[in-house]
Amino acid sequence: MNYRMLIQYDGTRYNGWQRQQSTDMTIQGKIESVLSKMTGKPVEIHGAGRTDAGVHALGQVANVHLDTSMPPAEILRYLNRWLPEDIGILSVEEAPPRFHSRLNAVSKRYDYRIATNPALHVFDRKFMYPFTEPLNVPAMQEAASFLTGEHDFQGFCARKMKKSTVRRLDSVTFAEEPGELCISYRGNGFLYYMVRIMTGTLIEIGTGQRTPESIPSVFETKLREQAGFTAPARGLTLVNIDYQEETSWTLNE
Amino acid sequence: MNYRMLIQYDGTRYNGWQRQQSTDMTIQGKIESVLSKMTGKPVEIHGAGRTDAGVHALGQVANVHLDTSMPPAEILRYLNRWLPEDIGILSVEEAPPRFHSRLNAVSKRYDYRIATNPALHVFDRKFMYPFTEPLNVPAMQEAASFLTGEHDFQGFCARKMKKSTVRRLDSVTFAEEPGELCISYRGNGFLYYMVRIMTGTLIEIGTGQRTPESIPSVFETKLREQAGFTAPARGLTLVNIDYQEETSWTLNE
């Protein structure tokens, strides 16, 4: 049976989502190890977004094929009982056999939270990047309009990629709260460090170190050094993953 | 000049509010040390609530007499620049010479947050006590009605007190959120560990280990052992301090 899980985590302590041989401090590794204990067999789960070390998630989605007769509610209880307290499973439900959390994802939303007044954010400081220089938000919004659309994002990627680096960025929106600027990115896929490099570039535009018009040259040259700094992981959260309308994924399809 | 400060902190790392000789990890100590550096003189601040080790604050109030010509906004900036990121000063304002944060306080509110489903509270888990046994909230509410009013709370205090242990508890209210039960206490003063012992007692009533009618016997006997366990510090937050109407404290009074 194929199961779909909705997962949240505080990524502070972890070396990211993806299982690694060198460390057992990954989110995927922690969840797989609990499911292996539960079923007595090796288990592989598939996450929709491979969040980096230190990045958080409010709505990560993963699927897993399990050979068990346990009902989903019992799997949910078992997971939350044995996982560390900085990983929480919000739901477990049966999914169609061919459902794959990453391959079927239509779009993803990442939020980058900047604490413009960290004194107001003592309680959620670990999920924000403290940055107290004044930011010109209209200039950042202008730059964001150059970012959206379908582009080759190689210049906003920390690695040389062999596969296509063309992605579609649907929207970049800014929300100002007391002591906080939150930038939300929605798109069909994100390259390695892409959201953090876009954020660093937007911050440099906000402080006046570069202009909104510098964005197109990153697309043209495809050179990482044409973009801004990589904003720290702590401010980044995977908010949710969108799939095609639920009806197409019901068990009775 | 007398200054009034509004303060929030994540108390996880600290040995409570009150300065101690044996440790520099107290909130009072941290703030005094920044103000001493600023003025070049020893400084003593007066907090309204002496929160215990591990207890948090959203709205602690303190006052301090400073010999400085710096405007309040500059003192605020200086404090937030030099304090650790788990202590935030929300405001600094001039206060009447005789204003004393503790002596003039009319009432205080403390919230105790219980994570009934910790998987839903990965991001604020450090400010909640995880407790997953089912709780009978109506029984806890019935017990709370015995707690409110003016009583001798010695039985709900972890220390034998020489001074009066009579306090007035104005209200105990319960708020149920997804995966959370929050108990709010408002009263004119709280003894050492009093909120945590009342909470532990209410939890024992919620699980059926004791009855609501066991509360009056704690008041009659004044014996600590008649009350319930001391709920952990991490779930407790000082929410705010009320003073008489602001007009009586204006500088032009």
**Co-location of A111 and A230 in the same domain:** yes
CA-nearest residue of chain A to B9? Answer: A122
pTM over 0.90: yes
CA-nearest residue of chain B to A237? Answer: B123
Task: With residue B46 as reference, give the H or E element that holds it.
Answer: strand B45-47
Q: Based on C-alpha coordinates, what's the Rg of chain A?
A: 19
Domain that residue A145 falls in: 106-240
* Residue of A31, A9, A10, A7 lying closest to A19 (CA atoms): A31
Asked if B88's CB is within 8 angstroms of A118's CB, the reply is yes
**Co-location of A139 and A180 in the same domain:** yes
Asked if B130's CB is within 8 angstroms of A85's CB, the reply is yes
Task: With respect to residue B124, please indicate whether it lies within any of the assigned structural domains.
Answer: yes
**Co-location of B115 and B235 in the same domain:** yes
Tally of residues, chain A: 253
Residue to mutate among A123, A126, A129, A239, with most B CBs inside 10 A, is A123
- For residue A245, what pLDDT is reported? 62
Task: With respect to residue A204, please indicate whether it lies within any of the assigned structural domains.
Answer: yes
CA-nearest residue of chain B to A81? Answer: B119
Task: With respect to residue A250, please indicate whether it lies within any of the assigned structural domains.
Answer: no
Contacts of B118 in chain A (CB under 8 A): 80, 85, 88
| Cβ A8 vs Cβ A58: under 8 Å | yes
In the predicted structure, residue A46 carries a pLDDT above the cut 60: yes
- The number of beta carbons lying within 10 Å of the beta carbon of residue B143 is 23
Task: With respect to residue B121, please indicate whether it lies within any of the assigned structural domains.
Answer: yes
**Co-location of A66 and A169 in the same domain:** no
Please tell me the distance from the alpha carbon of residue B160 to that of residue B183, in angstroms, as a whole number: 26
**Co-location of B143 and B178 in the same domain:** yes
Tally of residues, chain B: 253
pLDDT digits (tens, 9 = 90+) for A198-236: 999 999 999 999 999 999 999 999 999 999 999 999 999
Please tell me the distance from the alpha carbon of residue B93 to that of residue B95, in angstroms, as a whole number: 6
Residue to mutate among B6, B75, B122, with most A CBs inside 10 A, is B122
In the predicted structure, residue A253 carries a pLDDT above the cut 50: no
Task: With respect to residue A147, please indicate whether it lies within any of the assigned structural domains.
Answer: yes
Asked if A120's CB is within 8 angstroms of B90's CB, the reply is yes
Residue to mutate among A122, A124, A180, with most B CBs inside 10 A, is A122
Dihedral sign from CA coordinates of A76, A77, A81, A86: positive
**Co-location of B125 and B92 in the same domain:** no
Contacts of B115 in chain A (CB under 8 A): none
Task: With respect to residue A247, please indicate whether it lies within any of the assigned structural domains.
Answer: no
Task: With respect to residue B246, please indicate whether it lies within any of the assigned structural domains.
Answer: no
Please tell me the distance from the alpha carbon of residue A120 to that of residue A249, in angstroms, as a whole number: 42
Report strand pairing: A56-65 vs A87-95: unpaired
- Report the gap between the CA of B233 and the closest CA in chain A (Å): 16
Task: For chain B, give the longest Cα–Cα distance.
Answer: 59
Asked if B88's CB is within 8 angstroms of A120's CB, the reply is yes
pLDDT digits (tens, 9 = 90+) for B24-65: 899 999 999 999 999 999 999 999 999 999 999 999 999 999
Dihedrals φ, ψ of A11, to 5°?
A: -80, 0
Residues on B contacting A at a C-beta cutoff of 8 Å: 8-10, 56, 80, 83, 85-90, 117-125, 127, 130
Asked if A125's CB is within 8 angstroms of B90's CB, the reply is no
SS3 B191: coil
Listed in order, strand segments (DSSP E) in B44-200 are 45-47, 56-65, 87-95, 105-115, 129-130, 149-152, 166-177, 180-187
Contacts of A127 in chain B (CB under 8 A): 123
**Co-location of A208 and A192 in the same domain:** yes
Domain end, chosen from B58, B87, B103, is at B103
Task: With respect to residue B245, please indicate whether it lies within any of the assigned structural domains.
Answer: no
* Average pLDDT of the residues of chain A: 94
- For residue B160, what pLDDT is reported? 84
Asked if B88's CB is within 8 angstroms of A122's CB, the reply is yes
- For residue A246, what pLDDT is reported? 56
Q: Would residue A52 show up in a list of annotated catalytic residues for this protein? A: yes
- Report the gap between the CA of A192 and the closest CA in chain B (Å): 25
**Co-location of B99 and B110 in the same domain:** no
- For residue B250, what pLDDT is reported? 47
Domain end, chosen from B68, B103, B138, is at B103
Q: Which residues of chain B have pLDDT under 50?
A: 247-253
ipTM metric: 0.88
How many structural domains are present in chain A?
2
CA-nearest residue of chain A to B129? Answer: A85
**Co-location of A110 and A231 in the same domain:** yes
Please tell me the distance from the alpha carbon of residue B244 to that of residue A131, in angstroms, as a whole number: 37
Please tell me the distance from the alpha carbon of residue A171 to that of residue A65, in angstroms, as a whole number: 33
Q: Based on C-alpha coordinates, what's the Rg of chain B?
A: 19
User: pLDDT-based confidence at A252, cuts 50/70/90?
Assistant: very low
Dihedral of the CA atoms B93, B94, B100, B102 (nearest 10)? 0
**Co-location of A96 and A181 in the same domain:** no
pLDDT digits (tens, 9 = 90+) for A105-159: 999 999 999 999 999 999 999 999 999 999 999 999 999 999 999 999 999 998 8
* Residue of A241, A106, A111 lying closest to A173 (CA atoms): A111
| Cβ A159 vs Cβ A50: under 8 Å | no
How many beta-carbon contacts under 8 Å exist across A and B?
58
Domain end, chosen from A103, A120, A138, is at A103
Q: Any idea what the CATH number is for the domain that residue B234 is in?
A: 3.30.70.660
The amino acid present at A205, given as its one-letter code, is I
Candidates A85, A117, A122; nearest CB to B86: A122
Asked if A86's CB is within 8 angstroms of B122's CB, the reply is yes
**Co-location of B164 and B233 in the same domain:** yes
**Co-location of B115 and B24 in the same domain:** no
- For residue B244, what pLDDT is reported? 84
Q: Any idea what the CATH number is for the domain that residue B9 is in?
A: 3.30.70.580
Q: Which residue has the tokens 């009066």?
A: B164
Listed in order, strand segments (DSSP E) in A22-162 are 45-47, 56-65, 87-95, 105-115, 129-130, 149-152
